Structure 1
Amino acid sequence: MKKTCLLVLLVTMTLAVLTGCAQLKSITFEKKHPEPLESFVPQDLSAKSLSVKYAPKIESFVIILDASASMETAYTGIVNKGHPKFDVAKDIISRMNKTLPEVDVNSALVTFGHGFFTPLKKTFIVYELTHHSRDLLENALNMAIYPKGSSPAGNAIADASNQLLTSVGQNAVIFVSDGENLIGTPLEKIKDLKELYGEKTCFYTIHVGNTPEGKEALRKLARSATCGFSVTADEIASSGNMANFVKKVFLTDIPKQDSDGDGVYDEDDECPDTPEGAIVDSRGCWVVKGIAFEYKKWDIKEEFESNLTNIVDVLEKNPDLQIRIEGHTDNIGSMKYNIDLSQKRALAVKDYLVEKGIHESRISTTGFGFKHPIAPNVTEEGRALNRRAEIVPIR
């Protein structure tokens, strides 16, 4: 009898362990979708070609990610259709993260949901408010557990509010969810957020869901915050639309300055005092545009005269302006030889200007040889660019 009882007990314990392992496995291992997520190429909001540069308009932001059971179902929208909503949500956050320039802001990531073995109202602070970097958020998203359990959205909003207590500037809370079965009185928690921070904190929602009820629930949350707005994943999935979203939420634009009006912004202008009307290169430097001196030569050919006319016009319009003509060469030959050659190139330009009526007392010359290349001397194209003459205004 005793042996029978022991046998029954052993079988029962074994079944319990196996059942527990099976449940744990179903929670721990993510389900894999057969197709990869769509590729995404972000707009470069820090590109030098832009007419504005961007600065952060917020000090801190908190992302709230829905990791509840409803996010496990397939997304029926456009972007990444058929993938679990949770994967689509993480991808949208990743697109936002890749589009946001490297600016000085703080961030935190909060999730809610988390499975059968967690309390009903469980939230999780993936990382607390800290200086933001792309790698920080990307790594956190990759580590986010697979969705299970309930949707204590209100608790997550309260967590986000607490994370912002150390922030003294403007803030943003970005809530990413399908909007289904949200509990924890999220509307009340947004009310608490607004009472604590007022207009210092705006609330944005991104709907990654399949139901109009969920979409309306998120719109209602955003409206209740008075500062912020609601969008869907599909609306901001493209690189252009995501860039617009990032600019609205995170950035303020500062028009770039071009003090001398030469078409090159001050931050990139290596020659900031160019006179009006002068033809400049990509560096903002006044060059004898269009002249490509042949190898070991310094003569001014007829086809260059139209470009030299620009220099004459600028000098005639600025009678008090004096200039220095600087000659340059490629690196073929000795420095001594190239110093002499570059001086001859500078003198050739001076002689042309004097012939056109510019008094020689207004023009000085110097030759630098190959001391100041503007292109690599390893190719013929680069060497041709280095065989040049530049005009430096002397006021």
Structure 2
Amino acid sequence: MKKIYLLASLITASMIILTGCAQLRSQKKPLEPLEAFTPQKLDSESQNVEYVPKIESFVIILDASASMRDEYTGTVNKGHSKFDVAKDILMRMNNTLPEMDINSALVTFGHGFLKHLNNTNVVYGLTKHSRSLLENELNGAVIPQGCSPAGNAIKDANNLLLTSGGQNAVILVSDGELLYGSPLEKAQNLREMYGDRVCLYTIFVGNTVEGAEELRELVREVNCGFSVTADEIASGNDMADFVKKVFLNEIPKKVTDIDSDGDGVPDKYDECPDTPKGAIVDSRGCWVVKGVTFDYKKWDIKERFNSNLNNIVNVLQNSPDMHIRIEGHTDNIGSLKYNIGLSQKRAQAVKNYLVGKGIQESRISTAGYGFKKPIASNDTEEGRSLNRRAEIVPIK
């Protein structure tokens, strides 16, 4: 009789667990790999602003409960499990976030029926953030199963942030289904403990209107932050916008510091904008055959200048769709007609060298300007030497 009673008790307990928590569900094997993602660069070199961290620390809370095994019916990575979509969104965020001196922590909740129902897992506590650390832990995240004690995970975040004295962020990624552990109360505790020093950001990776509203309500309780869906921040531009809002402050660069084409010459002084990456420029920011000047009335290229010409070869090989115009120039000794012809021969000599190195002839045109475009005074030998030159102009 006791055995029968014990068996009945076990069955009853199992029914309570299965009805109170998300049940284990079968997951179809994805037919295609996760979508490729190209992050937008937010490093200072590629922007007209400088980015500095607006927070000292952030804690990621990842829903690893059984309901996250269901297929995601949204747009990004549709058909994959919600858990895989959630991890992918965090990977996109991680790859977009610039390397900077901030701390991060990772907490998961939902770890099976054989463990305590309120169990959460602090995967790692606050430590200096690195892309590789978060990526490795996300790749090794447990299989989603069990219930959804989101409130306990928010409490974990509360405790983890006790050692952080500055501005902080908590990022909760979930489907919003069957959350328990008093998440609203724990969100209120977060606000009472830290005030405006902590903001909550929720990323909805779910299929129900109720789940999305559950996450929005948590944000309202903290009174700082916002809620988005995975689809809303999936693209490179949208994810960059999310990262900037959560993590970064923008400081405009001084006008004199802005260098749009990255050639080392600020825009204010750059006479030749849009120079291709890797090209050698002069003080004006113009792509020149560096160090290659011509003797008086000569157009032959000296062997000692070959390494400088090879820079042009490398740039063109790295940009196979680029076409260029080689412009030849002279000093002002002699007639204009004579110098036009001489400058054309100098441009052609450079073209011949590039073609000899395997660059398609159709990608290169030439022009000779004689002494019409000096860059130095023709009153001195030094100035005349600088004017006997060849320049490279990209053609779009």
TM-score with structure 2 length normalisation? Answer: 0.65
CA shift in 2, pair 1:366/1:44, >3 Å: same
Measure the CA separation in 1 of the matches of 2:146 and 2:227.
25
State the one-letter code of the partner of 1:156: A
The equivalent residue for 1:326 is none
* Contact 1:175/1:204, CA 8 A, preserved across alignment: yes
Alignment correspondent of 1:235 = 232
Whether contact under 8 Å (1:56, 1:103) holds in the other structure is yes
> Which residue of structure 2 lines up, in the alignment, with residue 100 of structure 1?
97
1:119–1:253 CA distance, 2 compared to 1 (3 A): same
CA deviation string 1:352-384 (max 9, x = no partner):
79x9996959x966999xxxxxxxxxxxxxxxx
Counterpart of 1:264 (choices 238, 259, 281) is 259
Instruction: Give, in whole Å, the separation in 2 of the partners of 1:39 and 1:357.
Output: 51
Instruction: Identify if the C-alpha distance between structure 1 residues 196 and 215 changes in structure 2 by more than 3 Å, giving closer, same or farther.
Output: same
The 5 Å alignment of 1:91-170 reads 91-170=88-167
Gaps of 5+ in 2: 1-23, 299-303, 309-329, 334-370, 392-396
Aligned with 1:43: secondary structure?
A: coil
Aligned residue type for 1:75: Y
- What is the alpha-carbon distance in structure 2 between the residues aligned to residue 96 and residue 264 of structure 1? 27
Aligned to 1:38: 35
Mapped to 1, the partners of 2:263 and 2:290 lie a distance apart of 25
Query: Do the aligned residues in 2 keep the contact of 1:264 with 1:284 (CA within 8 Å)?
Result: no
Mapped to 2, the partners of 1:172 and 1:116 lie a distance apart of 30
Listed as ranges, the matches of 1:45-84 within 5 Å are 45-46=42-43, 48-84=45-81
Residue 330 of structure 1: aligned partner: 305
Give 1:219's aligned amino acid: R
Distance in 2, matches of 1:65 and 1:218, equals 13
Match for 1:286: what amino acid? S
Counterparts of 1:220 and 1:350, CA distance in 2:
77
Structure 1 residues 366 and 136: CA distance shift in structure 2, 3 A: farther
Could you tell me which residue of structure 1 aligns to residue 244 of structure 2? 247
Change (3 A) 1:162 1:367: farther
1:45-82 per-residue CA deviation (whole Å, 9 max, x = no partner) reads 12633222322111110000011111111111111111
> Aligned partners of 1:73 and 1:54: how far apart in 2?
38
Q: 1:237 to 1:191 in 2, by over 3 A?
A: same
What amino acid sits opposite 1:85 in the alignment? K
Provide Cα deviations, 1:100-152, integer angstroms capped at 9, x if missing partner: 11121111000011001110101000111111111111111111111111111
RMSD: 4.1
Contact map agreement 2:332 2:378 (CA 8 A) in 1: no
Number of residue equivalences: 303
Q: Is the 8 A contact 1:350 1:365 kept in 2?
A: no
Q: Is the 8 A contact 1:110 1:123 kept in 2?
A: yes
> Does 2:192 align with 1:195?
yes
1:180 equivalent in alignment to 2:155: no
Give the TM-score taking structure 1 as reference length. 0.66
Cα distance in 2, alignment partners of residues 194 and 356 from structure 1: 64
Secondary structure, in 3 states, of the residue corresponding to 2:45?
Answer: coil
Equivalent residue in structure 1 for 2:214, among 213, 217, 241 = 217
Q: Deviations over 1:181-234 (max 9, x none)?
A: 111111111111111111111000011111100110001011111110000111
One-letter amino acid of the counterpart of residue 305, structure 2: D
- Alignment check: 8 A CA contact 2:66 2:146 kept: yes
Contact between 1:69 and 1:149, CA under 8 Å: does it hold in 2?
A: yes
1:243 maps to amino acid: A
Instruction: Determine the C-alpha separation between the residues in 2 that align with 1:223 and 1:97.
Output: 25
Question: What's the % identity of the aligned pairs?
Answer: 55
CA, structure 1 residues 288+125, in 2 after alignment: closer, same or farther (shift >3 Å)? closer
**Residue segments in structure 1 that go unaligned for 5+ positions in a row:** 1-26, 302-328, 334-347, 369-386, 390-395
Residues 53/293 of structure 1: CA separation in 2 closer, same or farther (3 Å cut): closer
Indicate the structure (1 or 2) with the bigger Cα radius of gyration.
Answer: 1
2:375 and 2:226 mapped to 1: Cα distance? 64
Q: 1:210 to 1:291 in 2, by over 3 A?
A: closer
